[in-house]
Structure 1
Amino acid sequence: MRLLAVSFFSFFSRRAVSYQLIAFSLLLSGCGIYSFNGTNIDPAVRTISIGTIQNSSPQGPAFLTQRFTEDLKDYFQRNTNLKLVPRDGDLQFDGNIVAYDFSPASIQKVNGVDQAGSNRLTIQVKIRFTNTKDDKQSFEQVFQNFDDYPGTRNIATINSDPSAVRTTTNKIITDIFNKSVANW
């Protein structure tokens, strides 16, 4: 009899946990705007268009326009279920790179002469985001980030190294994503 009671309780407690999990997942999916990748996208939003992000700064490597635009597209495609369309998406991005600057990040004395201990690459990107389904979420904002490099590293080598520049642009792309669809 005791074995029967334990089996009965075990069966129903497992079933209760199953029902709780089902109810929880229905609750989340019933809201329709939450996903496990951190986005907060209305279910009516199905498409995204990302215009070419032009480099309007007087500096910067030749590959910057194409690389930034493609990395932005890739990031949204990896992290959302939105369909990328050439134009007139439910979510629309366009903008330009407004600053690409190197400056000394730390000064140190070497043999009595001030020299840069490190150089800072700062990139600023102005983004216009339009949410055609909810204009209150639309914005225009400058996103900025930077990385420091040893003072001994030649600035020209950093400019010609797509992976070095990409570390900075990836931070900006994450900020754009968070502001537009994660609402962080």
Structure 2
Amino acid sequence: MKSLFKIIIITVIFTSINSCKYYNFTGAKPIDADTFQVNYFQNNADLIEPGIERIFTLELQDIIQNQTSLNLVPQGGDLLYEGEIVDYRITPMTATADQRAAQNRLSITVLVRFSNKNKEEDDFEKRFSHFHDYPANEQMIGARLTAGLDEIYARITQDIFTESVAKW
């Protein structure tokens, strides 16, 4: 009975350790890469909000660093992320009885080109976008802008991570 218990424990431990080869706690599958590079994402949108391209570039670097064991390098990375912000737009979403906007929507679209030097079939070029709704009587500046960008970038960077590394 004691030896059966030991065999079960050893089997569970071996299976647990071996499964880490295929998945980790972030959901990312192991990839044939050690390094990644995120080039600066230019803001090519018609409506320009200064500084959003720098924030986006840093947020994308952060999510990949925090959810993988890959090392960030300035050039020659096994995984390469590049692209541009192609749309930054504020549009009215709902109207009041007197035909004024009651709610506005900030939308951002990013075009991403992803390359995996070691597995070219993973390469893609794709648009990712998300939005943040806010009351029309508020201006999209200061804390409101920061909150909107945080929400949008969290979603877009997670979508990029999922598409490029997690492969869900």
With structure 2 as the length reference, what TM-score do the two structures score?
0.91
How far does the alpha carbon of each residue in 1:60-107 deviate from its partner, in whole angstroms, 9 at most, with x for none? 421201111011101110000001000121100000000000001112
Change (3 A) 1:131 1:174: same
How far did residue 138 of structure 1 move? 0.4
Report if the CA contact (8 A) 2:106-2:148 is conserved.
no
Q: Does 1:67 align with 2:51?
A: no
How far did residue 159 of structure 1 move? 8.6
Higher-Rg member (1/2) = 1
Q: Identity rate of aligned residues, in percent? A: 30
Report if the CA contact (8 A) 1:158-1:165 is conserved.
no
The number of equivalent residue pairs is 168
Report if the CA contact (8 A) 1:61-1:159 is conserved.
no
Quote the residue 1:3 is aligned against. Answer: none
Q: Does 1:36 align with 2:25?
A: yes
Report if the CA contact (8 A) 2:83-2:113 is conserved.
yes
Change (3 A) 1:13 1:158: farther
1: CA distance between counterparts of 2:123 and 2:30? 13
1: CA distance between counterparts of 2:84 and 2:22? 30
How far did residue 12 of structure 1 move? 3.5
How far did residue 141 of structure 1 move? 0.3
How far did residue 39 of structure 1 move? 0.5
Q: Does 1:91 align with 2:79?
A: yes
How far did residue 146 of structure 1 move? 0.6
- Unmatched segments (≥5 aa) in structure 1: 1-8
2: CA distance between counterparts of 1:105 and 1:20? 57
Amino acid at match of 1:18: I
Q: Does 1:173 align with 2:160?
A: no
- Unmatched segments (≥5 aa) in structure 2: none
Change (3 A) 1:40 1:129: same
**Secondary structure at the counterpart of residue 85 of structure 2:** strand
Q: Does 1:15 align with 2:12?
A: no
The alignment's C-alpha RMSD in Å is 1.8
Report if the CA contact (8 A) 1:159-1:165 is conserved.
no
Quote the residue 1:4 is aligned against. Answer: none
Change (3 A) 1:51 1:145: same
Amino acid at match of 1:16: I
**Secondary structure at the counterpart of residue 100 of structure 2:** strand
Amino acid at match of 1:143: F
More deviation, 74-83/12-21: 12-21
2: CA distance between counterparts of 1:123 and 1:95? 14
How far did residue 136 of structure 1 move? 0.6
With structure 1 as the length reference, what TM-score do the two structures score?
0.84
